[in-house]
Amino acid sequence: MAERYGDDRIDAESHITIMENQSLGSKLGIQVYSGKEFFPLSPEMEDIDITDIAHSLALTCRYRGHCNEFYSVAQHSLLVASLVEDPLDKPWALLHDASEAYLCDMPGPIKERFGVLTRCDLLLQTMIYEKYGLYFGCPEEVIRADKLALATEKRDLLKASYEWNEPLPYPDQQTITPLSWQESERLFLIAFDILFPLERRVIV
C-alpha cells in the first residue's frame, strides 16, 4: 500500500487530525427523506424533523447488519422506551439514538478512535433533545434500559459468540420479534405523538 501511494500516503491518525481541523462547521449537506437538505456537521434546529428521523431509523439496521435478520434502530428505540420504568424518562429513551438518522452510527470500539465523529454526534443529539424540549443528558434509567436492550438483542438476534468486553445485565424476559421497517416507522411515530403531545403531528 505504501508503494502504491508513495509519499502522498497518510495514515488514519493524520487523516483524523485533518478532519478535526476542517470538517466541524462544514456546510456539506445531505438530502433527507422529506426532500430537504440537512447539514449534519453544522445542523440547524429548524431542519430537524421527526418524520425524517423515524423513516431513517426504521430503515437503518442495528449492528451494521450483522444480526440474524433485519432489525431496525427504530424498533430498538421502542424497545428501550418500553424497558424504562419511569414514564418521565421515556421521551429520552425514544430519541436516544435519533442522531443516527443524520450521522451514520459506527461500532463503539471504532467510534472511540474518531473523536471528531463523537463530537459531531454529541452536538446533533443535544440539538435534537432541545428541539423537543428535553435537557441534554440521558437519564441513568435510559442508559440502564439501553444496556438491557443490548443484552436482549444479543441473545435473540445475534449468533452465539465470545463474551463482549462491555459487561451486560441478564437479558429481559421478553423475546424480540423483528418488525418490518414500515411497522417500526409507524409505531415510532405513534409513540412520539404520545410522548410529545405538544409536538403532535398533523396527519392529513
What cell does 167 get?
A: 459487561
Profile the chain (204 residues) by mean pLDDT over runs of 10 residues. Answer: 39 45 65 95 94 98 95 98 96 96 74 68 92 88 97 94 84 97 98 90 55
pLDDT, residue 161, reads 78
For 67-126, the pLDDT digits (tens) are 999 999 999 999 999 999 999 999 999 999 999 999 976 666 666 665 566 788 889 999
pLDDT, residue 108, reads 61
What cell does 166 get?
A: 462491555
| Alpha-carbon span 170 to 163, nearest angstrom | 13
What cell does 117 get?
A: 465523529
Domains and CATH numbers, the chain: 28-195 (1.10.3210.10)
Give pTM, 2 decimals: 0.82
First to last CA, the chain: 56
What cell does 170 get?
A: 441478564
25: left (phi over 0), alpha (psi -120 to 50) or beta: left
